[in-house]
Amino acid sequence: MTTRRIRGAAAAVAMAGAVAACSAPGDGGADGGASADSVVIGVPSEPDTLSPLLGYGKDGNSKIFDGLLARDADMELKPALAKALPEVTDGGRTYTYTLRDGVRFSDGEPLTADDVVFTYDTVLADGTNNTAKSELAAIKEVEAVGDDKVVFTLDHPYAAFAARTVLPVVPEHVAGGQDPNTGSFNTKPVGTGPYVLTGWSKGEKLTFEANPDYWGGAPKVKKLTMAIVADDDVRATRLRSGDLDGATLPPNLAATFEDDDGRKTYRATSYDFRAVSLPTGNPVAGDTAIRRALDLAVDRTAMVDKILDGAGRPAYGPLPVDDPWFAKDVERSRDLAEAGRVLDEAGWKAGEDGVRAKDGRPARFTLYYPSGDKVRQDHALAYASDAKKAGIDVRVESATWEVIEPRMKHDAVLAGFGSVGDPDFGLYTLLHSSLAGDGFNNMALYDNPAVDEALDAGRRGQDPEDRKAAYDTLQRALVKNPGYTFLTHIDHMYVLADRWKGLTTQVEPHEHGFASGPWWNVEDWQPDA
């Protein structure tokens, strides 16, 4: 959840753009160029920062930066700034990387091992506002050995560590003299990646130009523009008018382009789930019986069919049903009778108006969703409808993130999360009590010792079977004591003009638009001559 949605005035600008921009990009459209060397993509949100020191690009695929490692189309780790995969010694406590020869930052300065050390040390520093730093907590020391070798020493073995070294590396000679939280590097980054940021109009667009000296070879797509268009319908309209070459779209809107001969539709499976956070401090949503009843009352299959047009899967927890770490025995059907029994036993009795109450308090709470997000709106309304059948009154409200964020510790939110690469990455920040209320980490302020123990065992374990057992325990504990109502895992849908070769998709995290989509490897695209 490190992205922000477009706010009021910016949304109005985007809407005006939809009306005014009726020409194709090559015919005077807002962002230029229907040629194969220019691409304009419409995405729903923009980053708060472009600095990896604050979490940007931590899952890879940043166009401005590279990590020591990267992921291929099949999500397998491959060398990037490192010459090869790391040498792992000392029982999984030491990782040694040798840097690729001749890599330079976009300002011409050479990449060295000191830049890697600076990046990781700064991310882990107490004063750096990086909410994902817990994913690197196993690091005891990072040491440069000469200019081209980096050695990570861990406090304990961490099976997923190599996958976390897709973290982008930043130049110490630029970022080293700045406050990582407020410095200009956040909006004017310098990296080793295939593209260079040339402009950022907040709430409107980011523009990138190909790095001609990129170590991986100069990209054929010379200009890349990310147009920030929060409203799904407006994004689809701009794509249809030719103002955008491609866009992220919800399934129902993507389906309207299926018969368009000039565009292709792409579908990516993901770890991205929609869930309702049920904060512990809320006197109704924090009640375990209410949480269990809501989990039993929701019709996940109907949500997939009706809201997602089948482009997704029911979510019985934070891991998708086709993930090898998913505990098969937690799949469950809707059961309103059992939901009623749970509420009756806990003292939540049905009232004349159909809303249950306990000790004079009605079973009622507010559920927020971000304005302009039709998919979340539909999930929220369906959730409220299902809850009503169990005697729980969920009042749905839309708001901007500025309004929602201060309320997250007390009010329910239709949230989206999900990380790729290893179960530790998404589950620890979602559920561990040590991160309760830490920004978007553990939004529900969930505190379950059994879950904490399983998370710690999964993080520190080396044996795959022991780790699987830990995550199975966690998933079963969430059924008995849910801090969230997990609803659906969403397939990401994209529509793109049919002018290039080499387009694929990866399995994707929650965060998508900039780093994910068919443009995850835009630097490798070739014109479809």
In this predicted structure, what is the pLDDT of residue 34? 58
Is residue 484 in a domain?
A: yes
Least confident of 184-198, 457-471, 476-490, 512-526: 512-526
Chain centre distance of CA 155: 28
Give the whole-angstrom CA distance, residue 256 versus residue 65: 35
Q: Is residue 496 a part of any domain in this protein?
A: no
The answer on 307 and 208 residing in a single domain is no
pLDDT at 131: 84
Looking at per-residue pLDDT, the higher value among 17 and 510 belongs to 510
Domain identity same for 431 and 303 = yes
Q: Are residues 285 and 434 in the same domain?
A: yes
The separation between CA 210 and the C-alpha centre of its own chain, rounded to angstroms, equals: 25
Pairing label, strands 149-154, 139-145: antiparallel
Asked if 247 and 495 touch (Cβ cutoff 8 Å), the reply is: yes
Distance of CA 475 to the CA centre of its chain: 21
What pLDDT does 125 receive?
Answer: 97
pLDDT of residue 119: 98
Summarised one tens digit per residue, pLDDT across range 253-294 is 999 999 998 999 999 999 999 999 999 999 999 999 999 999
Top pLDDT among 30 and 397 is at 397
Alpha-carbon gap, residue 125 to 145, rounded angstroms:
21
- Asked whether residue 204 carries a pLDDT value surpassing 80, the answer given is yes
Q: Does residue 505 lie within any of the structural domains?
A: no
Pairing of strands 223-228, 364-370: unpaired
With respect to residue 499, please indicate whether it lies within any of the assigned structural domains. no
| Neighbouring-strand partners of residue 417 | 273
Query: Which backbone phi and psi does 401 adopt, to 5 degrees?
Result: -65, -30
**Boundary of a domain, candidates 157, 185, 213:** 185
Asked whether residue 140 falls in the same domain as residue 181, the answer is yes
**Are 94 and 124 within one domain?**
yes
Residue 311 CB-density burial (10 A; 0-12 exposed, 13-18 middle, 19+ buried): buried
Domain count, the chain: 3
Domain limit, last residue, from 143, 163, 185: 185
Count the Cβ atoms, other than its own, within 10 Å of residue 510: 23
Domain containing 121 equals 52-185
In a domain, residue 144? The reply is yes
Q: Please check whether residue 502 lies inside any domain of the structure.
A: no
Virtual CA dihedral for 311, 420, 133, 168, nearest 10 degrees? Answer: -110
Find residue 168's DSSP bridge partners: 67
What is the Cα 362 distance to its own chain's centre? 35
Do 398 and 308 share a structural domain?
yes
Shared-domain flag, residues 64 and 22: no
pLDDT reading at 5 higher than 50? no
CA Rg value for the chain? 23
**Residue 13's pLDDT is what?**
33
Q: Which CATH number does the domain housing residue 157 bear?
A: 3.90.76.10
Residue 500 lies in a domain: no
pLDDT digits (tens, 9 = 90+) for 335-352: 999 999 999 999 999 988
Phi-psi region of 323 (alpha: psi -120 to 50; beta: other; left: phi over 0): beta
Alpha-carbon gap, residue 334 to 59, rounded angstroms: 34
**How does pLDDT run across 407-454, given as a tens digit for each residue?**
999 999 999 999 998 999 989 999 999 999 888 999 999 999 999 999
Q: Are residues 435 and 345 in the same domain?
A: yes
Predicted confidence at residue 85, as pLDDT, reads: 98
DSSP strand pairing (273-277 vs 412-417):
antiparallel
Burial of residue 235, with CB atoms counted within 10 A of its CB: 0-12 exposed, 13-18 middle, 19 or more buried: buried
Among residues of the chain, what percentage have pLDDT more than 70?
Answer: 93
In the chain, % of residues over pLDDT 90: 84
Task: Say if 498 falls within a structural domain.
Answer: no
pLDDT at 28: 37
Read off the pLDDT of each residue in 130-155 and give the average, rounded to a whole number: 94
Q: What is the pLDDT of residue 357?
A: 97
- CATH code, domain carrying 43: 3.40.190.10
How many CA atoms does the CB half-sphere of 169 hold within 13 Å?
28
Q: Are residues 122 and 228 in the same domain?
A: no
User: Is the domain of 220 the same as that of 343?
Assistant: no
Say whether both 328 and 443 belong to one domain.
yes
Work out the pLDDT band at 33, boundaries 50, 70, 90: very low
Residues 280 and 244 in one domain: no
Picking from 153, 185, 217, the residue at the C-terminal end of a domain is: 185
Q: Calculate mean pLDDT across residues 377-399.
A: 98
pLDDT value for 18: 37
